[in-house]
Structure 1
Amino acid sequence: MSQRFFKFNGLFIILIVCSFSSSANFDFNANCLKAYQNIFELKLTTARQIIAAEKKAHPTNAIVPLLENYIDYYYLLTNESKSEFERLEAAKTSRLDQISDDDKTSPYYLYAQAQINLQWALIRGRYGAYFAAAREISKANSQLTENSKKFPGFHPNGIGLGLINAVMGALPDGVLKSTLATFGLKGNLQTGLNILNNLAENLPKSTYEPFYEEAIFNYAYVLSDVAKSSQAYNKTIKYTARIADSSLLKAYLLAYVCARNGYTDQAIKILSDRPTGSNYQPFPYLDYLMGIAKLNKLDFTATSHFEKFLQTNKGNNYVKDTYLHLGWLSLLKGDDTSYNANIVKVKNLGSNYHDRDKQAINEANAPKPNKNLLKARLLFDGGYFTKSLTVLSESKAENFTSAKDKTEYFYRLGRVNEDLDKHDTALINYQQAINVGRNLKYYFAAKSAVQMGKIYEAKRNPGKAKSSYNLAIEMKNHEQENYIENEAKQGLKRTGS
């Protein structure tokens, strides 16, 4: 059991309260700290009760509306309900009004407003409301930047600034990026990573230690999803070690990063051992994640986890992707009728706000996947590289009649060989994928060019790396074009172009 970093006793509490309470009306006192801890364990009902008591005891404490917003934020993240989002959104203005009428000399004055703006922006972006989200991000960025100048020793400023810099710096071309540009917002991925890494290292040594878990939550997300860093797994394991095992948010974070980075067995164990009980906020996504993890090791009990997600989920995100995975399970079992029924559901149910659901639509509109290629893909995603290569070795390029399947075959070979450190073989495979598929609408050829660039980068051959990244950018009108092009542009930045 890892050691809890909150210790509400004696001298420590006195020191923390003195550090956090810059005025009577921004009083991050022992009750507020306890509520904040419960929020980050996803014990939201307990946190609500503590906050209600604090509100009654100190009705003018302006930390209360900030904590109430945290509760709504994590409730909506775990609930995924758009109707709940619309119901709760009205509270934002009154909370900001209460805070803005308070002590302008406190470091929490601008910080609390920025956090509320940023949290609503992140939720709003999940439903495609990009202009409103961009406006809120712009406000949050301005408020945190100003607060950093006024209070350079107030380390929590970096939590939001690190996230904003990283995400803005890595955004692919598209509606959100162009909307943010209208507000003059630009970021830098490396700057964001540096800010968050400094927080991870230094918050435990400071009086702002209670903000540690929030900083790590942002840092792990940026490493895994934004930067797609090879260090995502190791750093997440390292920095979550000191967070309490009673935190459901920690279990989610670890399982998600493990599943995303090929540590499937570990993800399954974490999800199986996660804390449970009525004290915790229901989190249907964890069943979806368990389904993904089990399918990636070709464990067909994944079906029950996907079905449970569909039964308990109150939102529309991941619905299309869930039906796609249920379709794949049917296909691998040899049940074409069920496969076709699930593909119809992919097209007709759920929403397409999330990237996973957008890609699910692309897959549903594509020809039925080849079973061996699908098995190899799933095993690769699960981190079972040798097994994936064994499946691919059962076929030869000439066995595939369609250009799509042939391109995917070479691409999958390249990915597996690259991760098995057979880089020269992988380069040959990627070039074959490009030769066959560069004019197709599928992502395999363009992504192959990006992977070639990364290999050449690692080989310290910047000339060939740049050539590969530029080739990826030159390919147009294919799936995931914006994301692959952005990945190539990030590669060009690293190689000095």
Structure 2
Amino acid sequence: MLIVFLSFTTVPAQDFVWTSGLQRAYSDLQKLKVQSARQALIKESPANGVRIFLDDYADMLTLVTSDDDRLFANFSKREDDRLDALQALDDKSPWQRVMQAEVRLHWAFAKLKFGKELSASWDVIRAYKLLSENQRKFPNFLPTYKSLGTLHVMIGSVPENYVWVANLLGLRGSVRQGQQELQRVQNDPIFRLEAQLIDLMVRAYILKFTDADSRTLAQLISGNPDNLLLHFFGATIEQKNGRGEQALIYLTSRPRSDGYQSLPVIENILGDIYLQKSEYSTAKTHFQRFVSTYKGQNFLKDSYYKLFLCQWLAGQSDTITRPFLQTVLTVGRTTVESDKAAQKFAEAYLERGASPNQKVLMRARLASDGGFTDSALAYLRPYNEAKFMSAVEKAEYNYRMGRIYQRRNDPDAALPYLRRALAISEPDQLSFGAVSALQLGYIYQQKNDRTQARSFFQKALSFKRHEYKNSVDNKAKAGLSQL
């Protein structure tokens, strides 16, 4: 009778078991070895909630790396099936709600990639409620805080004019709270690596990425040389933060074999870096590889726009360059910001052509974005604001000069240029004003002048319509939260 009683009381604990095979599968998924992970998962019990979670993780990685619309349509019904299967498992386990929330967040991420923003939003809201409930029931269960901490950061960086929406939906959190939770979950042996990566991505895409953060990233990658996902995200983080050479190192040293999931977008990133280095022929080769192998809809407009730049900046005739911009208008979609910017440039160029000084501004922009500040400064030194005719170009010239000096760790030299770019941009609400205000906020934050920093972060938020509004607003709100 005792044996029978014990068997009944312990069965629910078997609903979520991290077997050695499942741990290996999770490790492989974190490295983007999706096929070997799937093979390992086949050997595990389909009733184990951990396997259900990892099956879903494998699907999510397959979808977001391929951007294949047909695959998304085929896989999409699996979300409800897996959520139903997880909900039927032991609700007294701290894993039950965590796994449901993880599945919802997998699908939110996938849906965003495929332009299903509304459905993705509902998945995020439901995931938040599941994780919040789990936190109340099991406050010391560390895995809860990996995704809950991420959501708290996201909620904390919502622009002021949308805070009421978050409150109405019951979503509450701050950037600092989320960061503390991500730090806490790094003590968990299962989710440590993923939490470390998320923490670095929060610093790169929402906060301000520092030299110390760059060193931490380098240590993480060097400690995991066979992890393609870390090399990929390391490259995107460093590229985003104007360290093109370091991004190139991560990509050229990435692990390569048929065992890893294909990542066509790496060709797009390599093209970007070589374009920033003014190596137009090499950049063109990488962009052509991307558009010939990629099956999705994101980054197509961006890539054809960059193919235009490779030819245009190399001095090719309008007959050769113009068709690339015409293609921009007919391919892909405008879900990601780089595609929106490509569409806007193509429409303007095809309607009005280029001004005499537009090439020099473009060369300076590309070089500065990649962190090649010597080249960027050399492009702009022969010019001053008076040589540019339109308000847009005057604002861009000043913004580029400010960013060059800022990247060269000379904030005092950057300040007058960024202030001037902001002043020129305000009447017409140009994007250069919003991004200048954001950088001014960072400079004064670094100087510990909280009043000035707060004023400029709020100014960045005040710009109503520009192609970088989502990212600028998120960063400005995060900056205000830190103050």
Global fold match (TM > 0.5): yes
- The 8 Å contact of residues 115 and 160 in structure 1, kept in 2 or not, is answered as yes
- The 8 Å contact of residues 174 and 482 in structure 1, kept in 2 or not, is answered as no
Is the aligned partner of 1:320 residue 2:301?
yes
Offset of 1:374 from its aligned partner?
1.0
SS at match of 2:326: helix
Residue equivalent to 1:452: 440
Is the aligned partner of 1:306 residue 2:287?
yes
Name the CA distance, whole Å, in 2 between partners of 1:478 and 1:41.
Answer: 36
Aligned counterpart in structure 1 of residue 204 of structure 2, from 221, 224, 227: 224
Aligned partner of 1:298: which letter? S
RMSD: 2.4
- The 8 Å contact of residues 145 and 182 in structure 2, kept in 1 or not, is answered as yes
1:46–1:179 CA distance, 2 compared to 1 (3 A): farther
Residue equivalent to 2:3: none
After superposition, give the CA deviation of every residue in 1:26-74 in whole Å (9 maximum; x if it has no partner).
22101111111111111111111111122xxx34323221110010011
- The 8 Å contact of residues 153 and 179 in structure 2, kept in 1 or not, is answered as yes
Aligned counterpart in structure 2 of residue 361 of structure 1, from 334, 343, 347: 343
1:331–1:182 CA distance, 2 compared to 1 (3 A): farther
Residue equivalent to 2:179: 193
- The 8 Å contact of residues 385 and 420 in structure 1, kept in 2 or not, is answered as yes
Aligned counterpart in structure 2 of residue 330 of structure 1, from 287, 303, 311: 311
- The 8 Å contact of residues 134 and 180 in structure 1, kept in 2 or not, is answered as no
SS at match of 2:90: coil
Name the CA distance, whole Å, in 2 between partners of 1:468 and 1:66.
Answer: 43
- The 8 Å contact of residues 287 and 307 in structure 2, kept in 1 or not, is answered as yes
- The 8 Å contact of residues 404 and 440 in structure 1, kept in 2 or not, is answered as no
1:456–1:235 CA distance, 2 compared to 1 (3 A): same
Is the aligned partner of 1:285 residue 2:287?
no
After superposition, where does 1:38-117 map in structure 2 within 5 Å? 38-54=28-44, 58-117=45-104
Aligned partner of 1:304: which letter? T
Residue equivalent to 1:17: none
Residue equivalent to 2:145: 158
1:348–1:452 CA distance, 2 compared to 1 (3 A): same
After superposition, give the CA deviation of every residue in 1:396-422 in whole Å (9 maximum; x if it has no partner).
222222222121111101111122232
Is the aligned partner of 1:343 residue 2:325?
yes
1:461–1:40 CA distance, 2 compared to 1 (3 A): closer
Name the CA distance, whole Å, in 2 between partners of 1:174 and 1:79.
Answer: 35
Name the CA distance, whole Å, in 2 between partners of 1:452 and 1:288.
Answer: 31
Aligned counterpart in structure 1 of residue 234 of structure 2, from 230, 250, 254: 254
Aligned counterpart in structure 1 of residue 244 of structure 2, from 264, 268, 279: 264
Name the CA distance, whole Å, in 1 between partners of 2:479 and 2:16.
Answer: 44
Offset of 1:217 from its aligned partner?
3.1
Aligned partner of 1:235: which letter? T
Residue equivalent to 1:3: none
Residue equivalent to 1:416: 404
1:441–1:319 CA distance, 2 compared to 1 (3 A): farther
Aligned partner of 1:233: which letter? S
Name the CA distance, whole Å, in 2 between partners of 1:386 and 1:129.
Answer: 42
Is the aligned partner of 1:407 residue 2:395?
yes
* TM score, norm. by length of structure 1: 0.87
Aligned partner of 2:390: which letter? S
Name the CA distance, whole Å, in 1 between partners of 2:42 and 2:369.
Answer: 45
Q: Which runs of 5+ in 1 are unaligned?
A: 1-20, 204-208
Residue equivalent to 1:390: 378
Q: Which moved more, 1:292-301 or 1:429-438?
A: 429-438
Identity of aligned residues (%): 30
- The 8 Å contact of residues 343 and 364 in structure 1, kept in 2 or not, is answered as yes
Residue equivalent to 1:438: 426
Aligned counterpart in structure 2 of residue 462 of structure 1, from 450, 472, 475: 450
- The 8 Å contact of residues 298 and 339 in structure 2, kept in 1 or not, is answered as yes
1:395–1:92 CA distance, 2 compared to 1 (3 A): same
Is the aligned partner of 1:28 residue 2:8?
no
Q: Which moved more, 1:134-143 or 1:226-235?
A: 226-235
Name the CA distance, whole Å, in 2 between partners of 1:353 and 1:476.
Answer: 19
Report how many aligned residue pairs link the two structures.
464
Name the CA distance, whole Å, in 2 between partners of 1:440 and 1:250.
Answer: 41
Aligned partner of 2:182: which letter? L
Residue equivalent to 1:171: 158
Offset of 1:213 from its aligned partner?
2.5
Residue equivalent to 1:139: 126
1:120–1:179 CA distance, 2 compared to 1 (3 A): farther
* TM score, norm. by length of structure 2: 0.89
Name the CA distance, whole Å, in 1 between partners of 2:472 and 2:365.
Answer: 18
Name the CA distance, whole Å, in 2 between partners of 1:233 and 1:31.
Answer: 33
Name the CA distance, whole Å, in 2 between partners of 1:278 and 1:484.
Answer: 38
Aligned partner of 2:124: which letter? I
Offset of 1:305 from its aligned partner?
1.0
1:158–1:400 CA distance, 2 compared to 1 (3 A): same
1:237–1:199 CA distance, 2 compared to 1 (3 A): farther
Aligned counterpart in structure 1 of residue 254 of structure 2, from 248, 255, 274: 274
1:475–1:114 CA distance, 2 compared to 1 (3 A): closer
- The 8 Å contact of residues 175 and 481 in structure 2, kept in 1 or not, is answered as no
- The 8 Å contact of residues 328 and 342 in structure 2, kept in 1 or not, is answered as yes
Offset of 1:174 from its aligned partner?
8.8
Residue equivalent to 2:6: none
After superposition, give the CA deviation of every residue in 1:191-229 in whole Å (9 maximum; x if it has no partner).
2122213333x23xxxxx232222233223222122243
SS at match of 1:353: coil
- The 8 Å contact of residues 185 and 191 in structure 2, kept in 1 or not, is answered as no
- The 8 Å contact of residues 371 and 407 in structure 2, kept in 1 or not, is answered as no
SS at match of 2:48: coil
1:174–1:329 CA distance, 2 compared to 1 (3 A): farther
